Amino acid sequence: MPGFRVHITGSTIIGAGYGTAAWALGDMPPITCVLAGGLCSVAGMLPDLDSGPGIPLKESVAFAAAVVPMMMIHRFHQMQLPLEAMILAGAAIYLVIRFGLSWLLKNYSHHRGMFHSLPAAAIAGQTTFLAFAAEEPLRRYFVASAVVLGFLTHLVLDEIWSVKLGMFGPKFKKSFGTALKFYGPVVWPNLVTYVLALILGALAAGDAALTEGRAAMRQRMEQASRNIQQIPYQWQYRR
C-alpha cells in the first residue's frame, strides 16, 4: 500500500489543483482557495488515523486540534460568546481532540476498518461544514468539499496500490476493495459510522438552511438599500 509520502503528495497535488481551478474559473477568493487546498492536503492523511501510533495519527490529530478551534471562531461569534468564553471553548476543543480523540483512536480503531470508507469521507466533510460557519453558503460547501476530496484521494490511492500488474494481467491483493467501501465485516463499526453520518447530516442540513436563509435576507436588504439610494429625492423649499 502507498506510504505517508505518497498519500500526502497526492492529496497536496489534488488540493493545489482544486484551489487553483476555483480561483481561476469560479472567482473564489484567493485566501479561501488557499485554505481549501491546505485542508485537502491534510485530509489525505485522515483515513490512516486507524493505523495506530505513527506519523499519520500524530500529525493529523495535532493539526485538527490546532485548526478546528480557529475554524469555530465565527461560530463562537454567532453564539455571542465573550472573548474569555471563546478562549476557554477553543482550549477545551483542543484538549478533547489532542488527547481524547487520540486515545480513542489508539485503543479502539482497526486498520482498514470504517475509517477507510465512503461514509467516513462524508463524516469528514459534514464535520468541516459544521465547523466552518462562513456567512456565504458557497464558501462552506467549497471548503467542506475540499476535505472530502482529500479523503477520497487517499482511498483511491489505496485501491490503485492494491492492484499489481503482472505478465498475465492485473493481480488483485487481499486489500483490494477495503478502501472504497460502504460497509465493513464488523457490525458495530458500521452501525456507529452510519448513525454518526446521519446525525451530522441532519445537523449540517439544518445549519445549511439557516445559512442560506440569512444569505438571502442579506441580499434582499442590500438590494433594497441600493434601490432606495437610486430614488431621486425631491427637495421642497418652504418659506
pLDDT at residue 84, rounded to an integer: 93
Burial (CB count within 10 angstroms: exposed 0-12, middle 13-18, buried 19+), residue 32: buried
pLDDT confidence of residue 109 = 74
Q: How far is residue 27's CA from residue 138's CA, in Å, rounded to a whole number?
A: 11
Q: If you average pLDDT over residues 206-214, what whole number do you get?
A: 83
Euclidean distance between CA atoms 135 and 170, whole angstroms:
49
Which of the two residues, 105 and 236, has the higher pLDDT score?
Answer: 105
98 assigned to some structural domain: no
| DSSP per residue, 178-193 | SSS-S--S-HHHHHHH
Q: Of 134, 129, 230, 116, give the one whose Cα is nearest residue 184.
A: 116
What is the predicted pLDDT for the residue at 217?
75
pTM for the structure as a whole: 0.83
Instruction: Tell me if 215 is assigned to some domain.
Output: yes
Per-residue pLDDT, 232? 60
Of 73, 62, 122, 129, the closest CA to residue 97 belongs to 62
For the segment 154-181, the average pLDDT, to the nearest whole number, is: 76
The 3-state DSSP class for residue 165 equals: strand
Average pLDDT, the chain: 84
The pLDDT of 35-47, averaged and rounded, is 92
Q: Which residue has the higher pLDDT, 179 or 143?
A: 143
Beta carbons within 8 Å of 84's beta carbon, 6+ residues apart = none
What's the structural domain count of the chain?
1
Q: What is the pLDDT of residue 208?
A: 87
What is the model's pLDDT at position 41? 93
Q: For residue 99, what is the DSSP state?
A: I
- Residue 163, SS3 per DSSP: strand
Three cell numbers, residue 78? 454567532
Q: Is residue 96 part of a domain?
A: no
Q: How far apart are CA 61 and CA 50, in angstroms?
A: 12
10-31 pLDDT per residue, tens? 999 999 999 999 999 888 999 9
Instruction: Please state the rounded mean pLDDT for residues 195-218.
Output: 86
pLDDT of res. 1: 62
Distance CA 179, CA 43 (A): 15
Would you say 149 and 40 are in contact if contact means Cβ atoms under 8 Å apart?
yes
Q: Considering the chain, what percentage of its residues have pLDDT values greater than 70?
A: 87
Q: Is residue 198 part of a domain?
A: yes
Which pLDDT band, with edges at 50, 70 and 90, does 104 fall under?
confident
Here the cell at position 157 is 490511492
- Span 182-206, pLDDT tens digits: 988 888 889 999 999 999 999 999 9
Residue 168 lies in a domain: yes
Domain that holds residue 45: 4-52+109-230
Q: How confident is the model at residue 136 (pLDDT cuts 50, 70, 90)?
A: confident
| Domain-embedded: residue 66 | no
Position 2 scores a pLDDT of 67
Percent of the chain with pLDDT over 90: 40
Read off the amino acid at residue 82. P
Residue 165 half-sphere exposure toward CB, CA atoms < 13 A: 1
Who has greater pLDDT, 160 or 34?
A: 34
Tell me which of 18 and 135 has the higher pLDDT. 18
pLDDT tens digits along 80-94: 899 999 999 999 999
Mean pLDDT value across residues 128-132: 92
Let me know if residue 94 belongs to a domain: no
The reply to whether 235 falls in a domain is: no
Which pLDDT does position 113 carry in this prediction? 79
